[in-house]
Structure 1
Amino acid sequence: MRFMHPAQLTHGRAVLGMVAVTLMWSIAGVVTRHLEFARSFEITFWRSFFTMLSLIALLPFFQGREVFASFRKGPATLWLSGVCWAVMFTAFMVALTLTSVANVLVTMSIGPLLTAVLARVFLRHRIAARTWAAIVVAGGGIGYMYVSQMEAEGLAGTGVALLVPFAAAANWTITQRSHAHGRDVDLVPAVLVGAALSSLVTLPLAMPLRASAHDIALLALLGAVQLAIPCALAVMCARVLKAPELALLALLEVIFGILFAWLGAGEQPSRAVLTGGVLVIGALVANEWLGSRARQRLIA
């Protein structure tokens, strides 16, 4: 049995696929809030460990058994991409233990704007005026969240959460630079590398392990359903959808994640996070919408 090949994905199915991806991504916060004994690095270890196991089982269905040969033949950028994934996996879960779900998700959502900046620095990509404006507005939103938490425990969590969009932007820049030199990086095996590295690095920090059977069951759910399956599916959808569509659809994770944490764990977002979130997400939506309009005019 095989999953649908990317070539068989229509645009509509890819859109629905990305909506499903964001729904799966967004359960991390609410599930984490129902853990009994696992904390911090132990949460990260178990989720990354189960992600690794899930991907080892899933990869042959997505790409055939020959996919494992890519680890022997893959370029160095495959492993660099894996390091970026490991940073994202680790920082995200640690941040969730330090601050609110809403705070983490809003902070992560600035990833596309950080990607634009790194692409300008390392790839010499031109940044449109609208994107510069979006970067300023989104930066103001994140700054407002920081100022409001200067004397709150959430400040450390927001700082850790910032590592996620920085690592994501670095990952995109690495893979695009490799593509420009004729060496494409297969992102699904890179996710497996990231999960393996994350579990190896966090295991010593997680000792002694205290997770109950209840905790392990929930973290296994996160590893498979919240990370392994949606990451593989997102890579497939990315081959059909345009970058602006992906960026906008990915923002659904913020909305779903905050809503699930609110309804499922009673974690009501603060006014500062909601205000910062409106600025960040509004800037992203406006930037992508104006960019789409500009491309349409150019084509016309």
Structure 2
Amino acid sequence: MDAAGGWSIWPAPAKLNLFLRIAGRRADGYHALQTVFRMLDWGDTVRLRPRADGRIRRIGDSVPGLAEADDLVVRAALVLQKEVNVAQGVDICVEKRIPSGAGLGGGSSDAATVLRALDQLWQLSLGDDRLAGLGLALGADVPVFVRGRNAWAEGVGESLVPIDLPPAWYLLADPGVHVNTAALFQSPELTRNAAPATMADFVSGASLGNAFESVLRHREPAVEAVFKVLAEVGSPRLTGTGSGCFVEFATRESAEAAQMRVASRVSSRVVGGAARSPLLDALEAGVRD
């Protein structure tokens, strides 16, 4: 697929949750979450080809077994189309790299990229706030990808305050476990009433943890095994409500050295933390070949 065929190419970066805390329940019954979202310089690729007939089509099967009607990229395009009653359609093809169920935000990022890129391709100019609102209806993590900034987040993840994070490199490991988020939230072992953290706590380097880590390590031997290996090279953490694990390093060299030490026992990759989403750069550059 290339520009000659009418396709444009857009990044859909992964994210990390540098911590994840549950500080009680809200009046609407949802858990009150606190986290910091970190954008990464690695992720999926979304290809879009506008159509004049109004049809929304998914090309290929990027997530085996996922029906087209349930795919967030298709739902995102349909939501945007309905919001403005636009007559245009689009073909969507996603090149997946982010593993499903790993807590790295793959589906949410893909959906956000579709919203932001189609807003530009269809010349809608809806703005970040409106697009983030549409994204929230698709999933709690979609708004942070729409806005594209590292952020302190509260609520269900939709209340975002941009935060500057220092350069960092991450050794990511995927235990290959697809986590059912809804089931994890229902776990009786889950700590749901942690004392609220502050941004000052995070900036000071306080260990805020991930509320789901102990539950998942107990339930999934593969996750526990990866944690034990990564503990040899640093302080492993869980990202989001998925099975993805990571260790943070100050330099790429130190991350790569750690990867070499665990390479024979853990499937991993080294990725950089981004100052902001690569999608924002692509949007500013316009349609990319």
- Per the TM superposition, whether the score is higher than 0.5 is no
TM-score by length of 1: 0.24
Q: Which is richer in helix?
A: 1
TM normalised by structure 2 equals 0.25
- Which structure is higher in RCO with an 8 Å CA cutoff and minimum separation 6? 1
